[in-house]
């Protein structure tokens, strides 16, 4: 049976934005914070933070991090830090992959408890995926001695633009989901608030909350696999745009008369920079069907064709990045997706092409003003982690009407 958790009850009782909401939101988003950090994050006076924190600790929603340390036996946490009680609630993260759904469950203190992939085959129907997610999540809860009673919300990562309302754009690689409202479909099944965003934005959320961008507020993320995706983060906020299409770097046209892209335009960056073409062409050369991992392995073994194709993709990606950089001059660029597995083999030509085509080049500015390009901390599971992040970043903003409307 699904009932409202203690945390939800408290937030609902509090009405609209209060210091309690602000503190829950800060702890939910950052994991653990000291008293001083809470003041900074909420812009509230020390006495206000102190009063609200006492209320939250009394109700068992917030615990001192040292208490958790004693319980978990993990040393190294700051003794004065506070965190949401892991028992305050849980959330479910879902990543809609090409041939199945990947699900994980996490607690309010940012611990990933368990994860599972359910294969559904290509072109799976939304109803099938939702039913499988519900069954799969229930099994994960059961296997870990938990119940869905304290489920706070569900985050869904989709491989295509999603409007803020939850509608999936037709350019998604999952045609059966085109035009559906992914938030509504999952909310009908889970009876909880549902948040959804495209996979690159979810990846950026994960890097922002826990990974390579943890200490950054502005950055670009490039996700390069068989497709090319991107995310723009400004002032700690992942930019979604009017219809969820912000950061779709892959469909920026860089070759006027280039080949036709699946989106209907010509010469998109995705055509030039994704690992689809190397996989296709090397399959032909080697006379067997290859996947990205095979291409990366061939490159590592010194295959000149594989190395050349990876360099060409990286070069195109660098040119695309330079065009994006002209707009926001990012201090940080994170490379994600399977291209990141190629390491320096991809990163070096990517950086060189960026430097050659960018207006602001590293050599012309002081080191602290140069754009840093680095590989993300998660790369392969960042979209799933980010789906969890969507929920954690929203706790404290959930209001009564959202609880029931979705």
What CA–CA distance (Å, rounded) separates 252 from 92? 33
Give the total of residues touching Zn ion (CB under 5 A): 5
Residue linked to tokens 């965190």: 83
Q: What are phi and psi of 182, to 5 degrees?
A: -65, -35
Of the listed pieces 124-132, 160-168, 262-270, 335-343, which binds Zn ion according to CB under 5 A? 262-270
Nearer to Zn ion (CB atom), residue 134 or residue 263: 263
Nearer to Zn ion (CB atom), residue 266 or residue 361: 266
Of the listed pieces 81-89, 264-272, 318-326, 352-360, which binds Zn ion according to CB under 5 A? 264-272
What CA–CA distance (Å, rounded) separates 12 from 209? 26
Q: Which of residues 232-251 bind Zn ion (CB under 5 A)?
A: 251
Q: Does 263 contact Zn ion by CB under 5 A? A: yes
What CA–CA distance (Å, rounded) separates 201 from 159? 10
Residue linked to tokens 């392995």: 297
Q: Which of residues 86-145 bind Zn ion (CB under 5 A)?
A: none
Nearer to Zn ion (CB atom), residue 261 or residue 332: 261
Nearer to Zn ion (CB atom), residue 30 or residue 270: 270
Of the listed pieces 65-73, 149-157, 207-215, 256-264, which binds Zn ion according to CB under 5 A? 256-264
Q: Supply the minimum distance, in Å, between the C-beta of residue 1 and Zn ion.
A: 46
Q: Supply the minimum distance, in Å, between the C-beta of residue 170 and Zn ion.
A: 12
Host H or E run for residue 283: helix 276-286
Q: Supply the minimum distance, in Å, between the C-beta of residue 319 and Zn ion.
A: 15
Residue linked to tokens 């001059």: 329
Give the pair of three-digit tokens for residue 115: 């994860």
Give the pair of three-digit tokens for residue 105: 């469950």
Q: Supply the minimum distance, in Å, between the C-beta of residue 166 and Zn ion.
A: 23
Q: Supply the minimum distance, in Å, between the C-beta of residue 251 and Zn ion.
A: 4
Residue linked to tokens 């826990």: 210
Q: Supply the minimum distance, in Å, between the C-beta of residue 277 and Zn ion.
A: 14
Nearer to Zn ion (CB atom), residue 130 or residue 224: 224
Q: Supply the minimum distance, in Å, between the C-beta of residue 402 and Zn ion.
A: 34
Q: Is 367 helix (H, G, I), strand (E, B) or coil?
A: helix
Nearer to Zn ion (CB atom), residue 86 or residue 278: 278
Nearer to Zn ion (CB atom), residue 270 or residue 315: 270
Q: Which of 105, 108, 268, 316 binds Zn ion (CB under 5 A)?
A: 268
The 10 Å Cβ neighbour count of residue 395 is: 24
SS3 letters across 324-347: HHHHHCCCEEEEECHHHHHCHHHH
Nearer to Zn ion (CB atom), residue 86 or residue 160: 160
- For residue 346, the Cα-to-chain-centroid distance in whole angstroms is 22
Q: What are phi and psi of 91, to 5 degrees?
A: -140, 160
Measured CA distances, 122 to 119, 173, 200 (Å): 9, 10, 21
Binding region for Zn ion (CB under 5 A): 251, 261, 263, 265, 268
């Amino acid at each position: 049976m699904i009932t409202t958790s203690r945390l939800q009850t408290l937030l609902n009782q509090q009405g609209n934005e209060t210091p309690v909401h602000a503190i829950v939101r800060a702890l939910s988003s950052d994991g653990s914070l000291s008293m001083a950090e809470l003041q900074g994050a909420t812009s509230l006076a020390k006495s206000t933070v102190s009063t609200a924190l006492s209320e939250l600790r009394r109700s068992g929603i917030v615990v001192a991090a040292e208490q958790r340390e004693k319980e978990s036996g993990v040393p190294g946490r700051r003794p004065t830090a506070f965190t949401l009680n892991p028992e305050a609630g849980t959330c479910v993260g879902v990543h809609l992959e090409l041939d199945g759904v990947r699900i994980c469950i996490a607690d309010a203190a940012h611990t990933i408890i368990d994860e599972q992939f359910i294969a559904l085959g290509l072109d799976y129907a939304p109803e099938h995926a939702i039913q499988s997610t519900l069954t799969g999540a229930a099994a994960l809860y059961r296997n870990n001695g938990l119940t869905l009673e304290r489920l706070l919300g569900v985050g869904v990562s989709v491989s295509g633009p999603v409007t803020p309302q939850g509608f999936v754009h037709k350019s998604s690689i999952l045609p059966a989901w085109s035009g559906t409202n992914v938030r509504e479909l999952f909310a009908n099944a889970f009876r909880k608030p549902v948040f959804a965003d495209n996979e690159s934005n979810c990846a950026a959320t994960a890097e922002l909350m826990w990974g390579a961008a943890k200490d950054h507020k502005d950055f670009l993320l490039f996700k390069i696999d068989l497709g090319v995706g991107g995310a723009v983060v400004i002032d700690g906020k992942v930019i979604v745009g009017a219809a969820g299409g912000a950061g779709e770097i892959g469909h920026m046209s860089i070759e006027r008369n280039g080949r036709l892209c699946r989106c209907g335009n010509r010469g998109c960056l995705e055509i030039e920079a994704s690992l689809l073409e190397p996989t296709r062409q090397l399959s032909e050369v080697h006379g067997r069907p290859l996947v990205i991992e095979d291409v990366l392995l061939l490159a590592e073994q010194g295959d000149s064709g594989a190395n050349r194709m990876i360099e060409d993709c990286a070069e195109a990606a660098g040119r695309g990045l330079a065009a994006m950089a002209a707009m926001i001059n990012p201090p940080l660029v994170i490379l994600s997706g399977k291209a990141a597995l190629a390491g320096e083999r991809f990163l070096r030509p990517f950086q060189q092409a960026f430097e050659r085509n960018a207006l602001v080049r590293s050599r012309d500015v002081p080191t602290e003003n140069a754009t840093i390009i680095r590989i993300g901390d998660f790369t392969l599971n960042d979209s799933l982690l980010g789906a969890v992040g969507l929920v954690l970043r929203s706790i404290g903003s959930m209001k009564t009407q959202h609880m029931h409307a979705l």
